[in-house]
Amino acid sequence: MSRGNAKPDLVIRNAWIVDGTGAPRRKGGVAVADDRIVAAGELGEMTGATEIDAGGRVLAPGFIDAHTHDDRALLVDPLMTCKVSQGVTTVVAGNCGVSLAPLTTHARPPAPLDLVCADPAGFYPDFGAYLDALDADPPATNALAQVGHATLRLGAMDRLDRAATGAEVRAMRARLEAALEAGASGLSTGLFYPPAAAAPTEEVIEIAKGLHAFGARHSTHMRDESDHVTESLEETFRIGREAAVPVIISHHKCSGRANHGRSVETLALIDKARAEQPIGLDCYPYVAGSTTLSRDMLSDASEVLVTWSEPKPEAAGRKLSELAREMGVSEAEAVGALMPAGGIFFMMDEADVRRILAYPHTMIGSDGLPHDAHPHPRLWGTFARVLGHYARDVGLFSLEEAVRKMTSLTAAQFGLGGRGVIREGAYADLVLFDPDQIRDAATFERPKVPAIGVALVVVNGRVVWRDGAHTGARPGRALRLQDLERPAAAAS
């Protein structure tokens, strides 16, 4: 059905509307025609082809997952149940320097690229072809996709343990610009990881300069989130200033016992820098991280769980300390026997996690790893955990503020015009949930469990989740840079 005076396709009434802006909830309903909200609030006599009584539950804009590694999941598991079941309607992919395009490779890619895709045939030489593949067989959620710096390096360099030459930097920038032309939303880096650790700041700046003219953004898994976290923040700010682009600090944290409590310092630095240049950040609501299993991570972690292992698949879900004891070797040696593998690392402080989550400019991002055999529970639990555990049970912030951090704030950071808010004319991305019931059910022991309390999820006007089950609908869109709003002028 088209918009205008025609009868709405869908009317949801008798809800508490939490509109995403942080404003207090108000009673009312929403009418949807085609992919848009045509009325919000008092609906009067308006009726729809489909009528849903919200029963006094909360109706919010669909959640935007600010940080994902869903690049391949969107193609191979397009129902996206792990996200839709929590109320997520849009995901931002291509993070931490890792993307499926643009790259031609004939060998298994190095970690951490293999977290997203270990098969060389799964990569796309052309970014537009990747987005076209999403169009051809669409997922249930909308998606934005960034270009990964490690992906660019792998395609342009014969070895990754050195700085790129001038010619290689020019080649990477040209590929980035072609990808932006095709619709990539920005550039991500993972300077912490081996494929990019040898890249000097200047290399990133020269490549990132390509973003400015396109109005694209930069996100970063910083070089160091541990002892040198403040130096890494300074590096990140410098890249943003010199490339004149907005930067997003991915999954902000202070890792390792010696750095617990330092979020007081890091947030003060971010706050000060924000006065001079556009900076955003995201966070997941757990004290454990998850990535490639490597010896480098052991010193910061009080405990490690194995999430997958190629030579020893039976290790998935088990503690590294136990496995090492059984093998009669040190934990470092056990890592060697398990690799290639992934792990969950308990390495943050609860007080830091709360302080970062509560910081007004922090968005919610899951950083879930959808291909892990025994994934970190953040994949299935992040959004419900923020709403249920941190907002309702702990009282870290109001429900309205929690919703803002996963909707309008994120939409503004990524330029998602017409999303992340409930108002007339906006896209009909919606989630209906019970504020007393909502909670994450995924745990470190049983991580693949849908959240409790999400009654209805709508993407672009079509119902994808209802009463605990996926409808099978896949109305998601691959959003192009050209569909986004340009950032307010960055420093130059």
Which residues make up the interface to Cu ion (CB under 5 A)?
95-96, 367
Closest CA to 358 of 350, 348, 366: 350
What the block records as the tokens of 190 is 């993972």
Residue 265 φ/ψ, nearest 5 degrees: -70, -45
Q: Residue 90 or 366: which CB sits closer to Zn ion?
A: 366
Which whole-number Å values give the CA distances from 227 to 224, 253, 258, 260, 299, in the listed order?
A: 7, 11, 7, 10, 11
> From the CB of 415, what's the least distance to Cu ion, in Å?
20
Quick one: which segment of 28-36, 151-159, 174-182, 213-221 binds Zn ion (CB under 5 A)? 213-221
Asked if 221 interacts with Zn ion (CB under 5 A), we say: yes
Quick one: which segment of 162-170, 218-226, 268-276, 317-325 binds Zn ion (CB under 5 A)? 218-226
Dist CA 466 CA 266 (whole Å):
41
Q: Residue 83 or 470: which CB sits closer to Cu ion?
A: 83
Asked if 172 interacts with Zn ion (CB under 5 A), we say: no
> From the CB of 251, what's the least distance to Zn ion, in Å?
6
Quick one: which segment of 94-102, 293-301, 396-404, 439-447 binds Zn ion (CB under 5 A)? 94-102
> From the CB of 95, what's the least distance to Zn ion, in Å?
6
What the block records as the tokens of 125 is 């030489």
Ramachandran area for residue 199 (φ above 0: left; ψ -120 to 50: alpha; else beta): beta
Q: Residue 378 or 470: which CB sits closer to Zn ion?
A: 378
Q: Residue 175 or 221: which CB sits closer to Zn ion?
A: 221
Q: Residue 86 or 291: which CB sits closer to Zn ion?
A: 291
On whether the CB atoms of residues 363 and 281 are closer than 8 A, the answer is yes
Residue span 54-93 as binding mask against Zn ion, x where in contact by CB under 5 A, dash where not = ----------------------------------------
> From the CB of 116, what's the least distance to Cu ion, in Å?
10
On whether the CB atoms of residues 472 and 28 are closer than 8 A, the answer is no
**E strand or H helix that includes residue 10:** strand 10-17
Q: Residue 96 or 399: which CB sits closer to Zn ion?
A: 96
Asked if 96 interacts with Zn ion (CB under 5 A), we say: yes
> From the CB of 283, what's the least distance to Cu ion, in Å?
12
Dist CA 26 CA 20 (whole Å):
12
Q: Residue 192 or 465: which CB sits closer to Zn ion?
A: 192
On whether the CB atoms of residues 161 and 110 are closer than 8 A, the answer is no
Asked if 199 interacts with Zn ion (CB under 5 A), we say: no
Asked if 180 interacts with Zn ion (CB under 5 A), we say: no
Closest CA to 194 of 154, 233, 235: 154
> Residue 423, exposed/middle/buried by CB under 10 A (0-12, 13-18, 19+)?
middle
Q: Residue 309 or 366: which CB sits closer to Zn ion?
A: 366
The residue whose Cβ lies closest to Cu ion is: 96
Q: How many CA atoms lie within 13 A of 422 on its CB side?
A: 34
What the block records as the tokens of 55 is 């029963």
> From the CB of 221, what's the least distance to Cu ion, in Å?
6
Dist CA 127 CA 71 (whole Å):
12
Q: Residue 206 or 367: which CB sits closer to Cu ion?
A: 367
Binding residues with Zn ion: total (CB under 5 A): 2
> From the CB of 109, what's the least distance to Cu ion, in Å?
16
Q: DSSP H helical segments within 213-283, as ranges?
A: 229-243, 263-274
> From the CB of 250, what's the least distance to Zn ion, in Å?
5
Binding site for Zn ion (CB under 5 A): 96, 221
